[in-house]
Every structure is written in C-alpha cells, then in structure tokens.
Amino acid sequence: MDERSLKALARLGAPVSDERGRAIERALVRSYRQRSRRRRTWTLVGVAGLLLASGWTAARLLESPSAPLAQAPAVLPGPPTDDGRRIRFADGSEITLLQPDSTVRPREVRDDRTVVELLGGSARFAVTSRPGRVFRVETDDVVVTVLGTRFTIERLGPRARVEVTEGSVEVAWSDGHARLRAGQAGLFPPVEALVDPASVVEAGERPRARRAERRDEVGALLASADSARLARRPLEAVGALRRVIAEHPRDERTPLAAFTLGNVLLHELERPEAAAESFARARALAPRGPLAESALVRTAEAHLRSGDRTAAAAAAADYLREYPRGGKARQMRRVAEAP
C-alpha cells in the first residue's frame, strides 16, 4: 500500500478490519525502511496510529459483547394532567378528588421529588413506587411522605385524617411523627398534641383543673370518634361527636366536631339532610374559623344530595357573598344559578 492510499484512508476515517489493519502495518514497515527522512517517517507512523486508534481498535470494541454502552439520561416527568376530578402524573401516580371542595395543587414535580398541597377537602392518592423518588403531600401542619402506596387524606381545619390502604406512609407535624401501615388510620396532629401547656394543673388551682378536665373529656371524645370511624362503626362516632357539640359548645374544637359529624352523616351514613344541619352548625360556631368556607360548600353539597335545590342555591349564594374570589366560587355560581 503506497503513501497516497494511506493518506486517503486517514482522511476517510473509516474503520478497518483486522486483516486490513495488519496490511497497513506491513506497508508502514516497508515505508519506514525505504524512506530515511525523519519527518516523513513520523508522519506515516502518525497516520497509522490514527487509523489503528480510530478504525481497527474501535471496530474491535464495537464487536466485543462486553463493551460498555452509554446510559441514556433520566427523562424528567412531564406536567400532570387534570380533568377536574383526577390528576395524573407521567409516572402513573394518580390523585382522585373525593369531595366537591377538594383542592390539590402540585407544587414541585421532578424526577426525584414530587410535592403536592392538599388545600381543602379530601383526596385519594395512588403513588407509583420509584426507587429514589420521594412523594410528599402537605397540608398546613401535616406532611405525609411516601415511596409507593395508596392512601387517603382528609383536611379537617388545621388537622388531617390519614388512612392507608396499601404500603406505608410517614406522617410528620410540628413536634412529632408517626408511621402508618396498610389498614391503619389516624388524625394528625393527635388530640394530645393540641392540649395547651397553660392548662397544666397546678396545686390549689381549681378553675384551671376544671378546664383541664374539660379539655381531656373533649379530647377523649374526639379520639373515640376517630377510633370508631377507623373500625367502620360510624354510629359510635356520631354519638361521641354529638356529645362534644352538646356538652362543650364553647370549646375551640367543637366546630371541628360538628364538621366531622357532617362528613360522617353525608359520606358514611348517607343522611344528607342531617349532614347539612351539622355543616351549618360548624360554620355558626366559628363564622371566621378555618372551616367556615368549606362548611358552606359542604352545606350546598348536602342539600343537593337531599334534592333540596332551593336550600343548595341559598348556601351557594351565601358562599359567593362571603367569598367572591374563593376557590369554589365558579362551582357555587353554577349551583346558585341552576334552574
């Protein structure tokens, strides 16, 4: 092979076979022996080195079954889709809104981390298991962290009820945390976490002792209602919640009891008329409280479920007057304007 052919191969940069590579080597040896000028010799050797490195060696690597393959870069998930009642993520995870006033906002969607906020109502989560990815659901004071599971969260004012149907979740609040497994549920922060440290009994302080006793009774009744709901005994839960409302009307947790009672009556016992009354009471007990807006929406929903469209329209009109820019204004406008 002459020098011109070698240079042509170098310009083409094409891979060559083993036999072709040996022929190039033999040609280089002959050229080396025939030419004495150092400059031309090193040029030819350099051409051969390029050919061997880029062609022959590359061909052998490509033919080797053990040659490492380049790993494709991770593909970031696309934006979730939302059809109004269900939010779907690119990895197959899904959020189902369970109530008319349920509001979920995806705040961060990355390949290794997804964070959503439950702003109101309740939602069921089916999270696809992906190693190294964290899926978090946040309310005001409660954070639920999962790797892959199915669970439901219901916001109840500053608290959240979490129920796990598959897998496990980590629940955290300002000064504590708990792990729930399949078949377990709880209300967080727990009742005992809401007790005001100022109510601790000191010797000789009878009024403070009586207040502490009352708080303990309310806490025990709320805990009893939670246990009854978890055990699928809604009538027992109704009894405990009604005792809180009747016996402790001024306790700051009584609006929560009335709101929870409405949910039990509406969704577990299917008594929408009684549920509407309970939601209205929750709002009346705390007109500016954290549950007031949701209580109006639930009142309208309960009236619709009972077939009383006039009462539903009245509740929707109240909502629009109190919260003209509220998250459920469009929905309540449809209820208020329905024929």
Q: What's the total number of domains in the chain? A: 3
CATH of the domain at 283: 1.25.40.10
What does the pLDDT average to over 78-100?
82
Helices and strands, number each (H, E), in the chain: 11, 13
235 and 289 within one domain? yes
**Helix 254-263, helix 272-285: angle, nearest 10:** 160
Among 334, 305, 326, residue whose Cα is nearest residue 121 = 326
235 and 172 within one domain? no
Instruction: Tally Cβ neighbours within 10 Å of residue 133.
Output: 19
* Residue 198, domain member (yes or no): no
213 and 172 within one domain? no
130 and 27 within one domain? no
Please report which confidence band the pLDDT of residue 100 belongs to, taking 50, 70 and 90 as the band edges. confident
**70 vs 50, more confident:** 50
State which amino acid sits at residue 337. E
**31 vs 238, more confident:** 238
Q: Supply the pTM of this predicted model.
A: 0.49
What does the pLDDT average to over 308-324?
93
287 and 242 within one domain? yes
Final residue in a domain of this structure, among 163, 189, 215: 189
Please report which confidence band the pLDDT of residue 187 belongs to, taking 50, 70 and 90 as the band edges. confident
Q: State the distance between the two ends of the chain, measured CA to CA, in whole angstroms.
A: 95
Query: Has residue 229 got a pLDDT over 60?
Result: yes
* Residue 118, domain member (yes or no): yes
Looking at residue 34, what is its pLDDT?
58
Looking at residue 10, what is its pLDDT?
47
Looking at residue 205, what is its pLDDT?
45
Final residue in a domain of this structure, among 161, 189, 217: 189
* Residue 172, domain member (yes or no): yes
Domain with 32 in it: 3-63
* Residue 302, domain member (yes or no): yes
* Residue 233, domain member (yes or no): yes
92 and 49 within one domain? no
309 and 261 within one domain? yes
Looking at residue 230, what is its pLDDT?
81
Pairing assessment for the beta strands 113-120 and 134-138 based on DSSP bridges: parallel
* Residue 11, domain member (yes or no): yes
| pLDDT averaged over every residue in the chain | 76
Looking at residue 223, what is its pLDDT?
87
Looking at residue 218, what is its pLDDT?
87
19 and 91 within one domain? no
222 and 327 within one domain? yes
247 and 159 within one domain? no
Query: Has residue 69 got a pLDDT over 50?
Result: no
Strands (E), the chain: 81-82, 86-88, 94-97, 103-109, 113-120, 122-126, 134-138, 143-146, 150-156, 159-166, 168-173, 176-181, 185-188
| Cα–Cα distance, 258 to 294 (Å, whole number) | 12
Looking at residue 111, what is its pLDDT?
84
Looking at residue 144, what is its pLDDT?
92
243 and 140 within one domain? no
What does the pLDDT average to over 275-297?
92
Final residue in a domain of this structure, among 189, 224, 254: 189
Please report which confidence band the pLDDT of residue 19 belongs to, taking 50, 70 and 90 as the band edges. low
* Residue 122, domain member (yes or no): yes
| Cα–Cα distance, 99 to 85 (Å, whole number) | 9
CATH of the domain at 134: 2.60.120.1440
Query: Has residue 60 got a pLDDT over 80?
Result: no
Query: Has residue 323 got a pLDDT over 60?
Result: yes
Please report which confidence band the pLDDT of residue 64 belongs to, taking 50, 70 and 90 as the band edges. very low
Please report which confidence band the pLDDT of residue 31 belongs to, taking 50, 70 and 90 as the band edges. low
Tokens of 99: 């109530």
116 and 41 within one domain? no
Residue 223 is classified by DSSP as: H
Query: Has residue 136 got a pLDDT over 80?
Result: yes
Please report which confidence band the pLDDT of residue 35 belongs to, taking 50, 70 and 90 as the band edges. low
Looking at residue 264, what is its pLDDT?
92
**152 vs 9, more confident:** 152
Query: Has residue 39 got a pLDDT over 60?
Result: no
* Residue 286, domain member (yes or no): yes
| Cα–Cα distance, 171 to 165 (Å, whole number) | 15
**166 vs 46, more confident:** 166
Query: Has residue 212 got a pLDDT over 70?
Result: no
Query: Has residue 321 got a pLDDT over 90?
Result: yes
Tokens of 264: 């039990």
- Edge-to-edge strands of the sheet including 113-120? 103-109, 113-120, 134-138, 143-146, 168-173, 176-181
**326 vs 198, more confident:** 326
